[in-house]
A and B are shown apart, each in its own frame.
Chain A
């Protein structure tokens, strides 16, 4: 299988008033065509920063280094800002955790989709519109033609999230990085989106990095999973393996916090991982002299 994304030893350091925060500390990512890599881990462990670093969307003051960062044959570390901008949305696209980070509040849905398309493809406007409407339809948005004319604030949370998914899929990218892509969706729509993504993987060999705290969703879509903790990968493997035989104590703790159908407060206890200021701040402490 051809490797689509290959990242080795990714490090991200964020300057803060309390000193540099080592948000990502030596993470590797390998994703082949048609494959989904799931990433799980607690809030603040560095999942979003990892994806933004790969997409090169972090502000300049944040330092990003890696021994290797490749998209197919392309060495991403050697590319300038312009060239990266050409790749984004065309060969690699991101579905953001919060839709309003990606959507422009003052432009209609249709305008944003067609502009993204026309930026990368020289086609008549009519074709751009048809493509956009087709994708809105495929992500399960009712009345896609009419939704082209609305602004993001006129959409419900779940509809907005689907507009963003449509935007990411628009130019048929090789790689999608999806950061909590289905959190705002009800389970029936969620199932539809997961089917759509799985279909694209089979049909077009789409490679995907799928970040989610919903282990049910990850277990359904991912082939392999990496567990992150404090900026590092601490556990990983084929999805069934990891869920049935978690090695790292953190993975076991994570799994015990998943609410399951049939549990009731007062009768069943939903375990939460015990926390101390220590564990959370190791990232900052270790980098200070």
Chain B
């Protein structure tokens, strides 16, 4: 047993998000329901995986959880407090993101070192020498050569950029990490390393993860519970082992059926 509690650390209550798409030639607006009423608990110490169709609202939900975007209606709570009422800096010390697209989420004019230590600088109180030591330690764990310290995002490979985003999320030792496809740009070996690291950190510091991924083998490897989204709704939510053994929803079944398997020698 993983020792996961059932106490919700974050709660999402009937969250809706509607986008206004600027209309075509005549300027009439078309509305798009990216989230059509989602309720979900994130329990302390668990890995909750969010899978589902492209465009089903996973990234939108993660941005709302992070307080980066306001829901059209509904509310998100952190330890019972509405996220909208918590000071930005306090919230950031506890909840950190890893975004889906590291290219647009990393400031191109900052070096690797500056990017990774940013959350510590914002939180304040950590001397520069210790910040550097922690940056080095994380680079090492993430198998990034030390020469990368002074590199800029444009000088890195896709997987290296992704690892910078992961290091930045972990450096301040937050309680909750919201990961949007954190390993999809990584080769399998680094992916294995990152997944193992995330799980070890959880064991050590009791971290909680919301983990968005379309890789079902990855989800099965780490998730305690899995939520399946389709068209702005959660259509299935269950313990990982139960869901993989017997998916209830039609879309989940299709998802499991189209996963590619590798014909490997054993």
Measured CB to CB, the residues of A under 8 A from B are 16-18, 40-44, 47-49, 97-101, 142, 146, 149-150, 154-159, 162, 179-180, 183-191, 213-217, 219-220, 240, 243-246, 253-255, 257-266, 268, 270-273, 275, 277, 280-281, 284
- The answer to whether A187 and B216 have CB atoms under 8 Å apart is yes
- The answer to whether B21 and A97 have CB atoms under 8 Å apart is no
A280 in contact with B143 given A156-B59, A270-B195 (CB within 8 Å)? yes
A262-B145 Cα distance, complex, nearest whole Å: 33
CB proximity of B209 to chain A, nearest CB, Å? 12
Closest to A219 in B: B262
- The answer to whether B188 and A215 have CB atoms under 8 Å apart is yes
**In the complex, which of the residues A184, A264, A268, A270 has the most CB atoms of chain B within 10 Å of its own CB atom?**
A270
Q: Of A99, A154, A179, A187, which is within 8 A of B255 by CB? A: A187
- B150 interface hit (Cβ, 8 Å): yes
Q: How many residues on the B side are at the interface (Cβ–Cβ under 8 A)?
A: 67
- The answer to whether A157 and B21 have CB atoms under 8 Å apart is no
- The answer to whether B30 and A146 have CB atoms under 8 Å apart is yes
A264-B52 Cα distance, complex, nearest whole Å: 20
- B100 interface hit (Cβ, 8 Å): yes
Leading 4 A-B pairs by shortest Cβ distance = A158-B54, A43-B159, A216-B260, A98-B103
Additional A-B contact list (7), CB under 8 Å, known A43-B159, A159-B54, A263-B221? A97-B185, A98-B101, A101-B103, A216-B260, A253-B189, A261-B261, A272-B192
A281 in contact with B191 given A43-B157, A216-B260 (CB within 8 Å)? no
A-B contact pairs, 27 of them (CB 8 A): A40-B187, A42-B159, A43-B160, A43-B186, A98-B101, A98-B102, A98-B185, A99-B101, A100-B101, A149-B24, A157-B54, A162-B54, A180-B158, A187-B214, A187-B260, A188-B255, A189-B54, A215-B188, A243-B265, A244-B263, A254-B189, A259-B221, A261-B220, A263-B217, A270-B195, A270-B196, A272-B196
Residues of chain B within 8 A of A98, CB atoms compared: 101-104, 158, 185
- B55 interface hit (Cβ, 8 Å): yes
A98-B180 Cα distance, complex, nearest whole Å: 14
Closest to A259 in B: B217
Residues of chain B within 8 A of A159, CB atoms compared: 54-55
Q: When each residue 96-137 of chain B gets 1 if its CB lies under 8 Å from chain A and 0 otherwise, what string results?
A: 000011111000000000000000000000000000000000
- B33 interface hit (Cβ, 8 Å): no
- B14 interface hit (Cβ, 8 Å): no
Closest to A183 in B: B184
Residues of chain B within 8 A of A214, CB atoms compared: 188, 215, 260
A97 in contact with B158 given A42-B190, A187-B255 (CB within 8 Å)? yes
A157-B193 Cα distance, complex, nearest whole Å: 24
- The answer to whether A219 and B51 have CB atoms under 8 Å apart is no
Residues of chain B within 8 A of A185, CB atoms compared: 54, 214
Residues of chain A within 8 A of B171, CB atoms compared: none
- The answer to whether A265 and B222 have CB atoms under 8 Å apart is yes
Q: Of B54, B147, B187, B190, which is within 8 A of A18 by CB? A: B147
CB proximity of B210 to chain A, nearest CB, Å? 16
Closest to A148 in B: B24
- B87 interface hit (Cβ, 8 Å): no
A41-B186 Cα distance, complex, nearest whole Å: 10
- The answer to whether B187 and A41 have CB atoms under 8 Å apart is yes
Q: When each residue 210-252 of chain B gets 1 if its CB lies under 8 Å from chain A and 0 otherwise, what string results?
A: 0000111110111000000000000000000100100000000
- The answer to whether A17 and B103 have CB atoms under 8 Å apart is no
Q: Which of B137-189 contact A (CB under 8 A)?
A: 143, 145-147, 150-151, 155, 157-160, 163, 180-181, 184-189
CB proximity of A233 to chain B, nearest CB, Å? 16
Closest to B202 in A: A265
Closest to A105 in B: B104
Q: Of A184, A219, A244, A264, which is within 8 A of B184 by CB? A: A184
- B22 interface hit (Cβ, 8 Å): yes
CB proximity of A218 to chain B, nearest CB, Å? 9
- B85 interface hit (Cβ, 8 Å): no
CB proximity of A16 to chain B, nearest CB, Å? 7
CB proximity of A271 to chain B, nearest CB, Å? 6
Residues of chain A within 8 A of B262, CB atoms compared: 215-216, 219, 243, 255, 258, 260
A258 in contact with B185 given A157-B101, A186-B53, A216-B261 (CB within 8 Å)? no
A191 in contact with B258 given A98-B103, A259-B217, A272-B193 (CB within 8 Å)? yes
- The answer to whether A43 and B184 have CB atoms under 8 Å apart is no
Residues of chain B within 8 A of A215, CB atoms compared: 188, 262
- B19 interface hit (Cβ, 8 Å): yes
- The answer to whether B259 and A254 have CB atoms under 8 Å apart is no
